[in-house]
Structure 1
């Protein structure tokens, strides 16, 4: 029987970065794979510069998301960012070198960043036989994380405990059980956020307990944190059946 680590995510603001082109940083409506794996890696204490550990960690878990929000909204704020002006006669190894070695060439631009508001999710994680840490270790880390956890940006701290638990069964059964058990009694208003038929998203190609409505290619599989590179994956989406 399949095991899933299931936990909840809620915060007044969350930002799930998508591919960034230009001065606008869009947010996905659901947590990206890279964001979820990053949250778990931070919980167990893997540092961003530990490239080999991160690459090994990121390969052996399937993630699934159930987006429960009935009517989420979003907002956009503005930042000023220092960037070097174009200078074709000089090249630098890194952006840090550009800012440090050529301060006279630095200009300022305004960028825009998107946030999701009052979004509530249930997350289910499935391990492969090659997983470096068992689900029990990840569950313990989510209760007492090594590094502070946040939803996409440091300005988006958690507003509820993650309440992790290990559930046996199909993915549909895991989400059904989470729906009965996870909503926090300390947040009575949470029930008003939950829609009657939430959509599910997952990347396990062998998942058969949820009816597939479609699939989408996403560029959110971490490849290199140091070089900020991401690879493609296929993400499926659908909803639980009446008996799921």
Structure 2
């Protein structure tokens, strides 16, 4: 069977495609990852994180950097400052304050809303790691200190990419194209704080990725007449490099990825496939 390709325009004020993010260090790859784009497609069609991602994991992937954007860093804090004790009326009503403070003091453990002092006057640091206790169901915080959690988050500013996925099942690609414009879940460019700008789907076209890119125009704000393209290839292909972004599962408790191979090439853009319908 002959292959078909779904094109997608990935553009927005900020994008962030994490490749090795851990805890307080949230990096971004310099281009969209396969796992990130497949995750966007999965959200568009309404997959839950626990669902198997087949057949989306069978898609062959490529991305062209028409406008690579500018890397930026965000110094980000979470949970700092002073907050009123909950419920709030314990702060504003001194009579309730006096009545309820002893009850709070009698609660064992570090409970959400509990002050370490005998009085409920004053303020407390926003608790971190709030979760129900396994035995009592009471909301507990792993720590109540006032120091904020500091994270470093990386983004690409003003970037524009053309992503492509290839498969022989045209009907599936057509359904994905519709889902990108009528998504069942919110879409974002790698991170929830990065919504896409404008329409995404560039339609479904006959041919392999290399053939379709050779007939696809540059995006209007492209910064290079012949931008780099990263194309997924078979293992062992000459000039290919390994990247660990083949999605296996998006399950929230055991997300997993596998390696795949890609090759960086320059494919001279054509003029047949345009972007007027998106702009």
Same fold (TM over 0.5): yes
User: Please, what is the CA RMSD of the aligned residues?
Assistant: 3.0
How far apart are 1:98 and its partner, in Å? 8.2
How far apart are 1:156 and its partner, in Å? 0.8
How far apart are 1:195 and its partner, in Å? 0.9
Which one has the bigger helix percentage?
1
- Three-state SS of the structure 2 residue aligned to 1:214 is coil
C-alpha distance 165-66 of structure 1, shift in aligned 2 (>3 A): same
Answer yes or no: is 1:145 the counterpart of 2:188.
no
Partner of 2:257: 230
C-alpha distance 148-27 of structure 1, shift in aligned 2 (>3 A): same
| Distance in 1 separating the partners of 2:155 and 2:255 | 21
Partner of 1:194: 223
CA offset digits 1:190-211 (Å, max 9, x no partner):
x3433111111121329xxxxx
How far apart are 1:37 and its partner, in Å? 0.4
Summarize the alignment of residues 92-241 of structure 1 with structure 2, pairs less than 5 Å apart.
Answer: 100-101=132-133, 103-105=141-143, 108-127=148-167, 134-179=172-217, 183=219, 191-205=220-234, 214-226=239-251, 227-240=254-267
C-alpha distance 106-233 of structure 1, shift in aligned 2 (>3 A): farther
Moved beyond 6 Å, runs of 4+ = none
- Three-state SS of the structure 1 residue aligned to 2:258 is strand
| Distance in 2 separating the partners of 1:48 and 1:32 | 18
- Three-state SS of the structure 2 residue aligned to 1:141 is helix
| Distance in 1 separating the partners of 2:229 and 2:238 | 10
TM-score (norm 1): 0.75
Q: Please say if residues 3 and 167 of structure 2, whose CA atoms lie closer than 8 Å, have aligned partners that are also in contact.
A: no
| Distance in 2 separating the partners of 1:158 and 1:173 | 26
Q: Unmatched 5+ residue regions in structure 1?
A: 83-95, 184-190, 207-211
Q: Please say if residues 25 and 114 of structure 1, whose CA atoms lie closer than 8 Å, have aligned partners that are also in contact.
A: yes
